[in-house]
Chain A
Amino acid sequence: MENGPRAADCLKDLKLKEGWRVKSIMHRHPKATGGNFSVGYLVVNNDGRKAYLKALDYSAAFENPDPPRAVQALTTAFNFERDLLTKCGDRRLKRVVTALDSGTVKVPGILGIAANVSYIIFELATGDIRNQVAQWQEFDVAWALRSLHHSAVGLQELHNSHIAHQDLKPSNVLVFPAVGSKLSDIGRASYIGTPSRNDALQIAGDPGYATPEQLYGWQPFTDFSSRFIVDNYHLGSLIFFFFLGCSATHAISLKLSKKHLKEFTHTDFIKDLPYIQQAFREALDELCLSTDIKTGLLSQEIVMIAQQLCEPDPRFRGDPRVLASRHVPRYDLQPYISRFDRLARTAELKIL
């Protein structure tokens, strides 16, 4: 099996249920879907509609020293993601990429259980926000703000569905023609009431985008809200991406490493918090310089939102009025949805 072709690599030209046909391989995702391998394909259905197929590669599990456990982990993660996508689809979430179809196909020419490939078909995006930004000759403030608005809506939709995304980063905000931005890849998510292996991880998502408290394994609250607060930080981090080209965590880590002569350690969150806050302040200064140039009069409000969403102390992260309120959950994103919408409209009308 080790020397033979992997079933997940051999889907080209196969016919799937619901009229989908696999056209061409797009890319291999190393260690996607909760640490497992997947292969991406372009698929087309009978009426010419294009979509993206994510095929799960079981073969890696058989190369594992403990194949039964590896297969179990892989299928559990896959099923968890598929169930979440189904839930998102049922709730008709507008700003989250949902599954168009899913199933299992048997690849001809491969024998045994390894011939079965499970897949999920998603709407086809033109790319992620990084591809979009890379194409710009001139910074498009209105587009960036609208994308932030869409991301905030997507996150609020997930939170209202009791799902914490936990891996929101630029490569997971996909761009669709006419529709705008949508959140994708909920393979690292956690869902209230349904345990998953993501729940046990100190950093469920990409460590390069982790919140300061995640880097220390510190949790401000014992309930699920800690996870939603992490998502809010990631949303603020997208502002840093648009205006500085890196995440808030990248900027903070750089400032810390510089000040501490490359020896900054993550030992005690509360003791280190002042250094992190100072580094955050320095990162905000850089953000401010960039937004001043790119957004003019909108700069102050954008930086203020970034400051509130990326506050290193999770106990104070978010809108101060929401934090002070007894009747609204502390992770509520509604104020930011309204503010991003207003800022995007202002930019679209070019009344900067």
Chain B
Amino acid sequence: MSATFNTTIRQTIPRCLDYATISSLGLLRALRQHEIKIGPESQVSNAAIKWQKDPNIYTAVDLLAEALIIKDFESEDAKRAARYLLNQYKTTSPIINELATHFLQQPLINIAHLLDVSEPQNRYTNIANLKKSVRFYHRNPIAWCDMAINYATLGQMDKSRSAIEVALNLAPNNRFILRSAASCFVHFKEYDRASHLLSHSPLYNVDPWITSAGIAIAESADIPTKSIKKAKVLVEDDNLTQFSRSELSVSIGTKEMKNGAEKLAKTYMHQGIIDPTENALAQAEWMSSQLNADIGNFSNLGNKVPASYEAIARHLFYKEDFKNSLTSAKQWCSYEPLSSMPFVFSTYITSLCFDDEPESLRILTSVLPLHKTDSDFMNNYICSLAQTGDIEAAIKNFMNMDLRNLRDHQILVLTATQGLLCFRTDNAEKGRELYLEAIRGFERIQDPRSATVAAYYLAAEEKRILSPYKDARIKDAKSRFNRFKVFELTKRINKL
């Protein structure tokens, strides 16, 4: 086989991202629109009168901070105080300049701090800073959580698990901590624990972010989903912002799609993209490809929603714009290094669409320690090794793979990959047999696209060794290609 990318499965599992990124993306915003304006109950303050009577740095700071606390960003007095403070920047502290600047600015979504995953040094620096932080102030669950994510990104699972346990003990009922912990457990392949954590939280069926994550994780691990009816009530609660309901909408839509209720699935999908998160948009894009439904204004949404790398990569892929799709996929890799999916998707494009195996190898090697236990990731890695001529390493990695608990699709992909390795070790007969077994298997599970890719690679191997079966295999591959429209193979099929 070649690189693989299973397009038949996707769930809105929360991204495993640090606090700075999550907050920058607005995922911690208020659940209800009316909450945004609620300020604390207090005595009538005289900060504005004091400022008007005696404008100085202190009265300006008092007025500005009070306006910030009660979220009165329209106060003309406070705006004047902010401008006054900015004019006095030489005599004030940096935090006061920050206060004045923040008050006057529109909030900006800034995800420029996302790090290049190929540079683990950045992660080590982060961990060192976080360790220093918790040594001084150990009661900060967010620091522990960020530390867990950084450790996981370095493949140090035990340390990551310990840190996330501390975070959970400190703040068992916080949205950020719960979602991060659940996505960490998913990364550790502890789906049961992730699902239990969310479904037993008091926030389940109260906070749509928690409910959405709970449904997605349970669905991905075939765990029975708890109280979907309550989730549907939540998604129809118009007091909640559309943004906060977007992931829950598409999660329910995905479940409906799986149950065969396509019309209902489309309704939830469309509701999910009124004001979507990038994860909801990516899920909707995936759903639209499965349901043959169109997301009308994808270009607008893709530009509007920050960090929608996955959605754009998938959208451009289906539009057969492989070059730009790969660019977005690489950004997706930097954005979500703890998921194997962006790496598998990127190398699927580099291998199938561009026949650029060295590039595939480079992409995969950068995060190899993180995803050594991921079947699809390792399959693509082994194929790239074999295609670049390093058969010995490919076989060694194949032998080291854990083949337990694999889905049918994954077993068939690996069967085909074993076929490739047999061909490359001059055992064409066994290779042919394995490839054919995989093709028949794909047909059995009704995945004709994967069967076509396997048929193509079998034909390519037959052609490479100038086997007597090559013409028949080429004919079969071309016939499947025409029938099932495996557009990513177009260039390669034409070269056969």
The chain A residues found within 8 Å of chain B, CB to CB, are 30-31, 35, 130, 134, 170-171, 201-208, 210, 214-217, 244-247, 249-251, 253-254, 257-263, 265-267, 270-275, 277-278, 280-281, 283-284, 286, 290, 307, 311, 313, 316
Residue of B with least CB distance to A283? B95
CA A267 to CA B46, docked complex, whole Å:
25
Neighbouring B residues of A274 by C-beta, 8 Å: 140-142, 170-171, 174, 176-177
Whether B65 and A250, one on each chain, are in contact in the complex, defined by CB atoms closer than 8 angstroms, is: yes
Residue of B with least CB distance to A203? B42
Whether A265 and B36, one on each chain, are in contact in the complex, defined by CB atoms closer than 8 angstroms, is: yes
CA A92 to CA B19, docked complex, whole Å:
51
Task: Known A-B contacts: A35-B44, A281-B137. Give 5 more (CB < 8 A).
Answer: A208-B66, A251-B95, A263-B30, A280-B137, A281-B140
Whether B29 and A260, one on each chain, are in contact in the complex, defined by CB atoms closer than 8 angstroms, is: yes
CB < 8 Å: which of B39, B46, B61 contacts A266?
Answer: B39
CA A314 to CA B291, docked complex, whole Å:
53
Neighbouring B residues of A214 by C-beta, 8 Å: 40
Whether B40 and A266, one on each chain, are in contact in the complex, defined by CB atoms closer than 8 angstroms, is: yes
Neighbouring B residues of A311 by C-beta, 8 Å: 139
B128 interface residue (CB < 8 Å to A): no
Residue of B with least CB distance to A304? B136
**Distance in Å: Cβ of A268 to nearest Cβ of chain B:** 9
CA A170 to CA B62, docked complex, whole Å:
11
CA A311 to CA B137, docked complex, whole Å:
10
Residue of A with least CB distance to B108? A261
Residue of A with least CB distance to B62? A208
Query: What 0/1 pattern do residues 156 to 193 of B give for CB contact below 8 A with A?
Result: 00000000000000110111110000000000000000
Whether A246 and B99, one on each chain, are in contact in the complex, defined by CB atoms closer than 8 angstroms, is: yes
CA A278 to CA B70, docked complex, whole Å:
20
Known A-B contacts A274-B170, A277-B140; the reply to A259 vs B43 at CB < 8 A is no
**Distance in Å: Cβ of A323 to nearest Cβ of chain B:** 12
The chain B residues found within 8 Å of chain A, CB to CB, are 19-20, 23, 26, 28-30, 35-36, 38-47, 49-50, 56-58, 61-62, 65-66, 68-71, 73, 92-96, 98-99, 102, 107, 109, 133, 136-137, 139-143, 170-171, 173-177, 203
Whether A263 and B29, one on each chain, are in contact in the complex, defined by CB atoms closer than 8 angstroms, is: yes
CA A130 to CA B50, docked complex, whole Å:
14
Neighbouring A residues of B50 by C-beta, 8 Å: 30
CA A270 to CA B170, docked complex, whole Å:
11
CA A257 to CA B176, docked complex, whole Å:
16
Known A-B contacts A202-B41, A203-B40, A216-B40; the reply to A245 vs B95 at CB < 8 A is yes
CA A62 to CA B490, docked complex, whole Å:
88
CA A193 to CA B161, docked complex, whole Å:
51
Whether B98 and A254, one on each chain, are in contact in the complex, defined by CB atoms closer than 8 angstroms, is: yes
Whether B177 and A215, one on each chain, are in contact in the complex, defined by CB atoms closer than 8 angstroms, is: no
CB < 8 Å: which of B57, B65, B143 contacts A253?
Answer: B65
Residue of B with least CB distance to A170? B58
**Distance in Å: Cβ of B435 to nearest Cβ of chain A:** 53
CA A130 to CA B58, docked complex, whole Å:
8
CA A247 to CA B39, docked complex, whole Å:
19
Known A-B contacts A30-B46, A215-B40; the reply to A271 vs B137 at CB < 8 A is no
Neighbouring B residues of A259 by C-beta, 8 Å: 19-20, 23, 28
**Distance in Å: Cβ of B146 to nearest Cβ of chain A:** 9
Whether A245 and B61, one on each chain, are in contact in the complex, defined by CB atoms closer than 8 angstroms, is: yes
Known A-B contacts A215-B69, A245-B92; the reply to A261 vs B30 at CB < 8 A is no
Question: Which of B49, B56, B107, B177 counts the most chain A CB atoms within 10 A?
Answer: B107
Interface of A is mostly: helix
Q: What are some 11 contacts across the A-B interface (CB < 8 A)?
A: A35-B43, A205-B43, A251-B95, A259-B28, A261-B23, A261-B107, A263-B26, A267-B30, A267-B38, A273-B171, A273-B174
Neighbouring B residues of A284 by C-beta, 8 Å: 136-137
Neighbouring B residues of A280 by C-beta, 8 Å: 137, 140
CB < 8 Å: which of B49, B93, B98, B139 contacts A30?
Answer: B49
Neighbouring B residues of A249 by C-beta, 8 Å: 65, 69
CA A307 to CA B133, docked complex, whole Å:
12
Whether B175 and A207, one on each chain, are in contact in the complex, defined by CB atoms closer than 8 angstroms, is: no
**Distance in Å: Cβ of B317 to nearest Cβ of chain A:** 31
Whether B143 and A278, one on each chain, are in contact in the complex, defined by CB atoms closer than 8 angstroms, is: yes
CA A273 to CA B68, docked complex, whole Å:
18
Neighbouring A residues of B176 by C-beta, 8 Å: 274-275
Neighbouring A residues of B28 by C-beta, 8 Å: 259-260, 275
CA A244 to CA B174, docked complex, whole Å:
30
CB < 8 Å: which of B43, B173, B177 contacts A203?
Answer: B43
Known A-B contacts A31-B46, A271-B174; the reply to A208 vs B69 at CB < 8 A is yes
Question: Which of B23, B39, B43, B73 counts the most chain A CB atoms within 10 A?
Answer: B43
Whether A207 and B69, one on each chain, are in contact in the complex, defined by CB atoms closer than 8 angstroms, is: yes
**Distance in Å: Cβ of B44 to nearest Cβ of chain A:** 7
Whether B36 and A263, one on each chain, are in contact in the complex, defined by CB atoms closer than 8 angstroms, is: yes
Residue of A with least CB distance to B49? A30
Residue of B with least CB distance to A307? B137
Whether A286 and B35, one on each chain, are in contact in the complex, defined by CB atoms closer than 8 angstroms, is: no
Whether A265 and B41, one on each chain, are in contact in the complex, defined by CB atoms closer than 8 angstroms, is: no
Known A-B contacts A207-B45, A207-B66, A247-B65; the reply to A271 vs B173 at CB < 8 A is yes
**Distance in Å: Cβ of A60 to nearest Cβ of chain B:** 13
CB < 8 Å: which of B23, B57, B137 contacts A260?
Answer: B23
Whether B107 and A262, one on each chain, are in contact in the complex, defined by CB atoms closer than 8 angstroms, is: yes
CA A201 to CA B65, docked complex, whole Å:
20
Known A-B contacts A207-B70, A286-B94; the reply to A258 vs B102 at CB < 8 A is yes
CB < 8 Å: which of B42, B73, B136 contacts A207?
Answer: B42
**Distance in Å: Cβ of B130 to nearest Cβ of chain A:** 10
**Distance in Å: Cβ of B179 to nearest Cβ of chain A:** 12
Whether B95 and A286, one on each chain, are in contact in the complex, defined by CB atoms closer than 8 angstroms, is: yes
Whether B133 and A281, one on each chain, are in contact in the complex, defined by CB atoms closer than 8 angstroms, is: yes
Known A-B contacts A215-B69, A254-B68; the reply to A210 vs B95 at CB < 8 A is no
CA A253 to CA B72, docked complex, whole Å:
13
Neighbouring A residues of B95 by C-beta, 8 Å: 244-246, 251, 254, 283, 286
